[in-house]
Amino acid sequence: MSPLETEHLAPDHAGVARAAALLNAGGLIAMPTETVYGLAADARNDLAVARIFEAKGRPRFNPLIVHVADAEAAKRYVIWSDLADQLAQAFWPGALTLVLPLRDDSGLSPLVTADLPTLAVRVPAHPLAHQLLARFDGPLAAPSANPSGKISPTTAEHVNAGLNGRIEGILDGGACPVGVESTILGLFDEPILLRPGGLPQEAIEACLGGPVKLHQSGDPLIAPGQMTSHYAPGATVRLNATDVAADELLLGFGKVDCALNLSEAGDLTEAAANLFHHLHALDAQGPRGIAVSPIPEVGLGRAINDRLRRAAAPR
């Protein structure tokens, strides 16, 4: 991607207003939270969310945490429960992420959830994050604001060192007081600790009045910080296709004759934004197979190919 001029935004009214304007325009903003800096984008905007993966060099479509202003906002996107209410009252705003069933009418990009039926959501405690969420007035998808695999950023300087020229702005809120990522708790048949983090397990168990189940290595992978499960359409998926059988539909890339095209211009960011939507749309037509044009194994193409290989895996 071409280098951007990353704006360094002060922690004041003007800085928050500028950050919200850039987010509304589909930009990426590093925002301070009490845990680590998050790389925020409009969680409803496919292209903006795809750019998170591109900017971070994220190796695959892991699900992302969505940050919201309060519990009432969270209820717009997830199926709420009494247990969620108990935990939110005890720990929000704060370093607890809850994983709950995704509402059918959430309106969020499927890239946010990695096409899973659940959503990771939290209310951050940092005052600047609160101000930005209020000014933006919408959900912000935000993994840590660092290149994938590198140390998480706890200052604006850390963010600048890793992402300068790849994102629109950095809202400088000083050092993050918690300094480790949020604790992730899945609320399914029973509470399960999916990732330890800034809220101790003991505090959660004290709130619930008993022990929580721990995620085991063989359990389904359903949250940020874990490898994503692969998407399995009803049709078989064939990769690197240069021809199409009579009972297949072609998912194209570049200038090819196809049923749907990820990006006629060969833009990998656009292709990532379209990937889940197009796979669903082709699968809904009921073909025996979906053939996929070759995707370059560079940049965001690595993430696209990783997702496609999972879709094509034997099952």
Which pLDDT tens digit goes with each residue over 72-131? Answer: 999 999 999 999 999 999 999 999 999 999 999 999 999 999 888 999 999 999 999 999
**Per-residue pLDDT at 59 exceeds 80:** no
Q: How confident is the model at residue 229 (pLDDT cuts 50, 70, 90)?
A: very low
pLDDT of residue 3: 79
Q: Is 302 annotated as a binding residue?
A: no
Domain count, the chain: 2
Q: Is 122 annotated as a binding residue?
A: yes
Alpha-carbon separation of residue 63 from 40, 66, 159, 161 (angstroms): 14, 9, 21, 25
The residue-averaged pLDDT of 61-71 equals 92
289 is a domain residue: yes
Q: Is 67 annotated as a binding residue?
A: yes
Does 199 lie in the same domain as 305?
no
The residue-averaged pLDDT of 276-286 equals 88
286 is a domain residue: yes
Q: Is 118 annotated as a binding residue?
A: yes
Does 269 lie in the same domain as 148?
no
Q: Is 307 annotated as a binding residue?
A: no
223 is a domain residue: no
Q: Is 231 annotated as a binding residue?
A: yes
The residue segments making up the domain with residue 253 are 236-312
231 is a domain residue: no
Global confidence as pTM:
0.82
> How far is Cα 140 from Cα 83, in angstroms, rounded to an integer?
24
Lowest mean pLDDT among 157-171, 195-209, 254-268: 195-209
**Per-residue pLDDT at 69 exceeds 90:** yes
The residue-averaged pLDDT of 166-172 equals 98
> How far is Cα 307 from Cα 168, in angstroms, rounded to an integer?
27
Q: Is 48 annotated as a binding residue?
A: no
Task: Report the candidate in 16, 18, 71, 23 with the shortest Cα–Cα distance to residue 43.
Answer: 23
Q: Is 152 annotated as a binding residue?
A: yes
Supply the mean pLDDT for the chain: 91
Q: Between these two residues, 180 and 28, which has the higher pLDDT value?
A: 28
Percentage of the chain modeled with pLDDT above 90: 68
Q: Is 135 annotated as a binding residue?
A: no
222 is a domain residue: no
pLDDT of residue 231: 42
Q: Is residue 2 exposed (0-12), middle (13-18) or buried (19+ Cβ within 10 Å)?
A: exposed
